[in-house]
Amino acid sequence: MSKLEPMGEKRDRQALKQTIEDNLRKVYQDLLAEAVPDRFTVLLDQLRAQSAAKPSRDAAENGE
């Protein structure tokens, strides 16, 4: 911002920046509050089951 910028314009920019920041924060908080879709939960459970059924690569290399 230039030193010659009118005060009203500076306040408008600050208000705009604050509005954008508030909206982004709200969208982020809403996203965090959303539940994980059932399909993803099922896929994660399947991956965990597969990982538990297979010996890890590190364990195989170490003779465990």
Distances (CA, A) of 30 to 25, 26, 35: 9, 6, 10
More confident position, 8 or 32: 32
Under DSSP, is residue 37 helix (H, G, I), strand (E, B) or coil?
A: coil
**Domain membership of residue 21 as a residue range:** 7-61
* CB-side neighbour CA atoms (13 Å) of 52: 6
Average pLDDT over residues 10-23: 94
Q: Would you say residue 55 lies in a domain?
A: yes
**Residue 1 covered by a domain:** no
Flag whether 2 is in a domain.
Answer: no
Q: Per-residue pLDDT averaged across 47-63, rounded?
A: 76
Selected residue with higher pLDDT from 28 and 9: 28
Q: Given this model, what pLDDT does residue 42 score?
A: 96
In a domain, 18, yes or no: yes
Confidence at residue 13, expressed as pLDDT on a 0 to 100 scale:
92
Report how many domains make up the chain. 1
pTM, whole model, 2 decimals?
A: 0.48
* Domain annotation covers residue 24: yes
- pLDDT over 70 at 45, yes or no: yes
